[in-house]
Chain A
Amino acid sequence: MDLFDIFHYGFVQRAMIAGVLIAAVSALLGLFLVLRRFSLIGDGLAHTTFGSVAVVLLIGISPLYVTLAALPLVMVSSLAIYKLTSSRKINADAAIGIVSSLGIAAGIILASLSGGFNVDLFSYLFGNILTVNNSELLLSFIVFLIVVAVVIYFYDDLFAVTFDQELAQSMGIKTGRVNVILFLLTAVAAVLAMKVAGIMLVSALLILPALTALQLSLSFRTTMIAAVGFAVGAVLCGIVFAFLLNLPAGAMIVMFNICFLFFVFAAKKLSHLRR
C-alpha cells in the first residue's frame, strides 16, 4: 500500500484530526501539570475513567456516547484531587493514589456485579484512535477550542500560579479559580486521551511532550509551542506507522513520544559535551 493511500480512508482522517486535537490539548495542559508536580494526575484520572465507563455501561448508555457520559464523574474526581491537595494535609501523589484506587476498585466491582458488559470494558484499557466517531471528533474540536481560549485568556495567571502559588495570590490572582479550571480541563483531556492511547497510557500524552519540550531550555511560551509540536508529531507518526505495520496506534503514539524525548535528551547531552 502506498503511504498516501491511507489518508483516503475516512476513519484515518478522523483519527488524525482527533488525535492532533487531543494531543495538542494534552500537551498544553501537561506542561502546567508537570511543572506543578502533578505529572501522575493523568494516571489517576485514567483509572477513574475506568470506573466511570463501568458506571456508564451499567446504566445502559450507548457505547457511542461512553466518552461523553464518563466526563462528569472524571471531572468530579479531578476536583477531588485538587481539594485533597489544597488542604495541604495530603501530598499530590497520595491524593492521586486515593482517587485512582477508588476509580479502579469501583470499575472492577461494577463489572463483576453486572456479570460483564456487551462492550468489552477492558478494550478501554488500550484505546483505539482509529475507532473515533463523529461525536467524539466534535467533542475533541470543542475541547481544543476551549483549552486554547482558556490558555490565551488566563496565560498570565497560569504562568504565575505555575511559578509560585503564594506569589500569585499576593498579586491578587484568584488561584482557586485558576486551579479549578486547570483541573476540570485536565479531566476532559484525560477522558479524550483514553480514546487515543487507552487508560494505561493516558498520562504519557500529558507528560512526555511537556518533558521533551522542557529539555530544550526555552522560554515559557516557546516551551508550550514546542510541547504541542512534539505531541502532534508523535500522533501523526504513530498513526501512520501503526497503520503500515498493523500495530496498536495508541502504543505507537506513546513510543514516538518516548523516541522524541530520548532524541532531544541525547542531543542536549551531546551539545553539552562539545562545549
Chain B
Amino acid sequence: MPIIRVDDLTFRYNGLDVISNVTFEVEKGIYLGIVGPNGSGKSTLIKNILGILRPEQGRVELFGESISHFRKWEKIGYLPQRLGALNTHFPGTVAEIVQMGLPKKDPVTLRRTLEMMAIGHLASRLIGELSYGEQQRAMLARALMRRPDLLIFDEPTTALDPETREIFYSLTREMSRTDGTTVILVTHDIGVIGQYAQNLLYLDKKVIFSGTFKDFCTSPDMTGFFGPISQHLICHQHDQSRSNG
C-alpha cells in the first residue's frame, strides 16, 4: 500500500489551472524530492495532499484512506513554507509551539528534539523573539517531535546556516533509511535533492518527470529538458551521495 496516492489531481485558482492531472504514488520509506520552477504548483500540490486545499478534480489517498476520511494526522509531520508571515507578537514559547497538538506532553522527548536542532536553550523563549533561522529550527523540531511516519517539508532549509542544514538533511535521511519514515521534500535546490532523495518528481503545473534517480539520469527526455550538463551534475551528486552513504 503506498503512503501517498495522488490520482489525476487538478487544482484551479480564479479559473486558472495551478496544477493539472497530477498522478503519482509514494511508497513507505521513500525520500522523494519535489522540484520545479517558481509558480509550478509545488506548494499547492502539498496543500492538496494534506487537505488544506480542495482539488477541482482527482483523488488523494493517505495511508490507503481517502483524504476526506483520513483521521490519523499524528502520522504526519509538516513544515509549511510561510514562516515569514509569522506573527511576531504571538505569545507562544518554543516549547508550546513544538508541543502544539500533542495529546501528551513529554518533556524528555521535547528536550531531546530541541537539542537535536541546537535550540535546547531557547525552550522558554517566545517564538516571535527569535531570529528567522531559530524560528525555522523550532518549526523543524515541531515536525520531528512525534517521529511521524510521513514528513513533508516545504522549502525547509531556506533560513538555516550550512551546519544546521547538514544536520537536518542527515537526520531526515537517517529517519528514512532506518525507521522507514517517508520524506517529501519540496525545494528549489536540485543539487540537494540529488544528494539525499531516492525519487524525484519534477513539476511544472503538470508532472514532467516522476521516478527514481536512475530513471531520471538515463532519460533522454530529461536530457532534452535540463540539458546534458545540468543532468550530469544532478546525477553525479546523487551517485556520490550513494557511495558515501
Asked whether, in the complex, the Cβ of A160 is within 8 Å of the Cβ of B100, the reply is yes
Chain B residues positioned under 8 Å from A171 (CB to CB): 73, 78, 100-101
- Give the one of A172, A213, A219 with max B CB within 10 A: A172
Chain B residues positioned under 8 Å from A218 (CB to CB): 91
Q: Tell me which of B27-35, B45-53, B111-119 binds A.
A: B45-53
B204 interfacial contact with A, CB 8 Å: no
Q: Tell me which of A78-86, A121-129, A130-138, A162-170 binds B.
A: A162-170
Task: Give which listed residue, B82, B93, B96, contacts A166 with CB less than 8 A.
Answer: B82
Task: Give which listed residue, B71, B76, B129, contacts A170 with CB less than 8 A.
Answer: B76
A219 to B129, CA, bound (A): 12
Task: Give which listed residue, B76, B87, B93, contacts A35 with CB less than 8 A.
Answer: B87
Asked whether, in the complex, the Cβ of A170 is within 8 Å of the Cβ of B78, the reply is yes
Task: Give which listed residue, B71, B82, B93, contacts A219 with CB less than 8 A.
Answer: B93
B121 interfacial contact with A, CB 8 Å: no
Task: Give which listed residue, A37, A169, A213, contacts B52 with CB less than 8 A.
Answer: A169
A37 to B85, CA, bound (A): 12
Q: Which residue of B lies closest to A214 (CB)?
A: B89
Asked whether, in the complex, the Cβ of A167 is within 8 Å of the Cβ of B91, the reply is no
Asked whether, in the complex, the Cβ of A159 is within 8 Å of the Cβ of B80, the reply is no
Contact with A along B73-112 (1 / 0, CB 8 A): 1101010101000110111110011001100000000000
Chain A residues positioned under 8 Å from B78 (CB to CB): 167, 170-171
Number of residues from B at the complex interface, CB < 8 A: 25
Tell me if A's interface is mostly helix, strand, loop or mixed: helix
Asked whether, in the complex, the Cβ of B50 is within 8 Å of the Cβ of A169, the reply is yes
A37 to B88, CA, bound (A): 12
Contact with A along B20-59 (1 / 0, CB 8 A): 0000000000000000000000000001001110000000
Chain B residues positioned under 8 Å from A164 (CB to CB): 80, 82, 86
B234 interfacial contact with A, CB 8 Å: no
- Interface hits, A169-210 → B, CB 8 Å: 169-173
Q: Which residue of B lies closest to A175 (CB)?
A: B52
A169 to B96, CA, bound (A): 18
Query: Provided the pairs A35-B87, A173-B101 are in contact, do residues A219 and B92 lie with their beta carbons within 8 angstroms?
Result: yes
B160 interfacial contact with A, CB 8 Å: no
A218 to B129, CA, bound (A): 12
Asked whether, in the complex, the Cβ of A163 is within 8 Å of the Cβ of B89, the reply is no
Q: Which 7 A-B pairs have the closest CB atoms?
A: A172-B73, A223-B91, A170-B78, A171-B101, A170-B50, A169-B52, A219-B93
* Chain B residues at the A interface, C-beta cutoff of 8 Å: 47, 50-52, 71, 73-74, 76, 78, 80, 82, 86-87, 89-93, 96-97, 100-101, 124, 126, 129
5 contacts across the A-B interface (CB closer than 8 A)? A163-B100, A166-B80, A167-B80, A169-B52, A223-B91
* Chain A residues at the B interface, C-beta cutoff of 8 Å: 35, 37, 156, 159-160, 162-164, 166-173, 213-214, 217-220, 222-223
